[in-house]
Amino acid sequence: MMVGMGGFLGANARYLLGLWAHLRWGGDYPVGTFVINVTGSFALGVFATLMIRYAWHEHGRLLIAVGFLGAYTTFSAFGYETLQMLANGRHQSAIAYMVSSVALGLGAVYLGAAAARWLPASLGVRP
């Protein structure tokens, strides 16, 4: 329940902020996504640190970190997890995680787009 409520709010916040940024600055550069990823990363850093320091109830983590920020941006989780690996002295793991996440993520987007172009054509479906 907590994850769902937070996710509802986070997804809508992402949409509204992205729309606002697009209307404000146009679409030549993905300013909305950039702002969302940076603010979400900052928010997760603040929240996770306070949650650990003050031993907040698990419902708070589910509502804000998993639900809201999970729907708002998953880049924040990527950043926090990488920071945790670095803080724990797992430098090679952190670098491997960063490089593989970006490279495989871009590769997966490319392959997904290629599959989406190929599949309708192979089925004889026209746009």
Residue 30 corresponds to which tokens in the numbers above?
């993905």
**What's the pTM value of the predicted model, to 2 decimals?**
0.69
Q: Residue-wise over 3-32: b if at least 16 C-beta within 10 A, else e? A: beebbebbeebbeebbeebeeeeeeeeebb
Residue 11 corresponds to which tokens in the numbers above?
């997804």
CA distance 82 to 27: 30
Q: Convert the pLDDT of each residue in 57-102 to its tens digit.
A: 889 889 998 899 989 987 877 888 889 899 999 999 999 999 998 8
